[in-house]
Amino acid sequence: MLATVIRNSFRPDQKMISLLRQKIQAIENKTPLSSLANLNCRKFEQFELKNIVPLGVPEVDAALPWNGFPTNGLHEIFGDTAAFGFLVVLITRLTEILSQTRHSTQVLWCQQGRDLCGQGLAQFGIDPNQIILVHGKNDREIIWAMEEGLRSSSLAAVIGKLHKIPPIASRRLHLAAEENETTGLLLRTAPSNMVRQAPTSSALTRWCVTSVPSITPAHGVGLGVPKWHLELQRCRLSAASEGKLESAGQPRSWQVEWYNETSDLSVVTDLCNRSDQSQSLWKIAN
């Protein structure tokens, strides 16, 4: 039995080749990309800057190579139950910014379990009506639903709560998020003694969030505000600016608190045996 093989002729994109050549030449000559004469290149640089959302915490924003949180890409958050809280904080900040620019604030949430609480989302400032909930039988179905959502270009963010993700699948998710200007968030929760998991190499940022004992209120009754140990374990060095290239790859951590009344995330300051000048708790992870 003979098989017929049909080969389509490959036609390279000459405009893209010209753009890549100019970028390579600019790197070799140490010339800023913004000074290139190619109009498409200038549009590309402006596009990158427009998709940065400040988190509202100067210490954390300054630690990121972009001076804020890049919305068009894939991010990974893992840890104990505190990771869920930090994820919701990111969604709150993202939808708040997008609502001012009249973009869609709908969020696609993909997971296996049915433990998502609408009342808990409302306490963090998220309207449950903004959530489109998808239940998958396994990680494979969740990854498929995430990719379809990221390619729709009509969502503010796509969240996937899963256990394992193949490297090829994570790369596909990142490319879909980057191409369609959508935020992709991977949530991987585990008990506090099992927070060390294999990283997702394609993610722009990787965060580890664990619970910290909160401070008892002044009246001495009830629980204090949520308090977390927030660690930025990784960010893409290729996206770092020249001035931040040396420090972009260093893991950094803070203790932060979330205030429901003001929807504010702030770094906890240590007031014991020190001046009253505020400072962040910077640590280098082992």
| CA distance linking residue 128 with residue 105, whole number of Å | 11
Asked if 200 and 186 touch (Cβ cutoff 8 Å), the reply is yes
- pLDDT (0 to 100) of residue 48: 45
pLDDT confidence of residue 56? 86
Domain edges within the chain: 46-239+247-267
> How deeply is 48 buried, as exposed, middle or buried, from its count of CB atoms within 10 A (0-12, 13-18, 19+)?
middle
| pLDDT tens sequence for the chain (286 residues) | 454 444 444 455 666 677 777 777 666 665 554 544 444 444 443 334 457 888 889 999 988 888 889 888 999 999 998 999 999 999 988 888 888 776 778 999 999 988 888 888 888 888 899 999 999 999 999 999 999 999 988 899 999 998 888 889 999 999 999 998 899 999 988 755 444 555 666 889 999 999 998 777 766 666 778 899 999 988 876 555 555 555 555 678 999 998 877 778 889 875 444 444 333 333 333 3
Question: Which pLDDT belongs to residue 32?
Answer: 54
Tokens found for residue 127? 């309207």
Query: What is the spatial order of strands in the sheet that 252-259 belongs to?
Result: 131-135, 107-111, 157-161, 183-189, 73-79, 205-211, 227-235, 252-259, 264-267
State the pLDDT at residue 276.
Answer: 40
Instruction: Pick one of 3.10.20.600, 3.40.50.1100, 2.40.30.130, 3.40.50.300 as the CATH number of 46-239+247-267.
Output: 3.40.50.300
